[in-house]
């Protein structure tokens, strides 16, 4: 769907251009996000589309699911999620959701709204039970420029394994430093002109 495709393209481009703060580059060892694969644009013309997508899912560290009313009803999205989980030891923490419209319980696929939760008892024993959960989601139901500023760092923080606040604080510090440098340069230029 057009709206889903616009958001998917925005996230792909923004992540590929995302400037990881210097301190986080040192801490995580990542200089930038590697190529962000999007099946619509990057699949070759092939007689075996399923095999190509499976290879892409296998090579991917994370799966980002664009969640809209169309997503929750899509058999294709369900198959991609199932395949990704099979290839990544059923680790649902590697699947990130992005809300495009609707409420989470309406648009997030059913498989991502349930998890096997372990409960520990006082005597040291435990039991597991399937429970309804609401995964944390990036919220792109707002205007894209605002979402890029607020929600993209949320996705980036998860993918870098750091806190959202780390990225926001470091971005603000970078902007303050840049502003001070620009102000100093303008001041020096003004003094040079006045001296001349």
For the whole model, what pTM was predicted? 0.76
* Each residue's pLDDT tens digit, 130-159: 888 878 899 999 999 999 999 999 999 999
* CA dist 101 → 37, 51, 145, 176 (Å): 23, 30, 16, 35
pLDDT single digits (tens) 113-137: 888 888 899 999 999 888 888 788 9
pLDDT tens across 34-46, in order?
888 887 655 555 5
């Amino acid at each position: 769907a057009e709206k889903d495709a616009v958001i998917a393209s925005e996230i792909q481009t923004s992540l590929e251009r995302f400037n990881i703060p210097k301190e986080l580059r040192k801490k995580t060892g990542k200089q930038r996000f590697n190529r962000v694969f999007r099946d619509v644009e990057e699949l070759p013309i092939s007689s075996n589309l399923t095999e190509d997508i499976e290879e892409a899912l296998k090579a991917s560290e994370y799966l980002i699911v664009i969640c809209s009313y169309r997503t929750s009803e899509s058999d294709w999205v369900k198959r991609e999620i199932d395949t990704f989980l099979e290839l990544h030891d059923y680790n649902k923490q590697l699947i990130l959701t992005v809300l495009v419209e609707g409420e989470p319980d309406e648009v997030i696929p059913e498989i991502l709204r349930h998890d096997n939760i372990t409960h520990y008892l006082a005597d040291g024993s435990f039991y597991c039970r399937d429970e309804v959960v609401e995964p944390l989601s990036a919220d792109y139901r707002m205007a894209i420029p605002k979402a890029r500023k607020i929600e993209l760092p949320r996705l980036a923080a998860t993918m870098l394994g750091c806190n959202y606040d780390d990225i926001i604080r470091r971005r603000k510090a970078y902007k303050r430093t840049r502003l001070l440098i620009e102000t100093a340069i303008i001041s020096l230029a003004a003094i040079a002109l006045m001296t001349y």
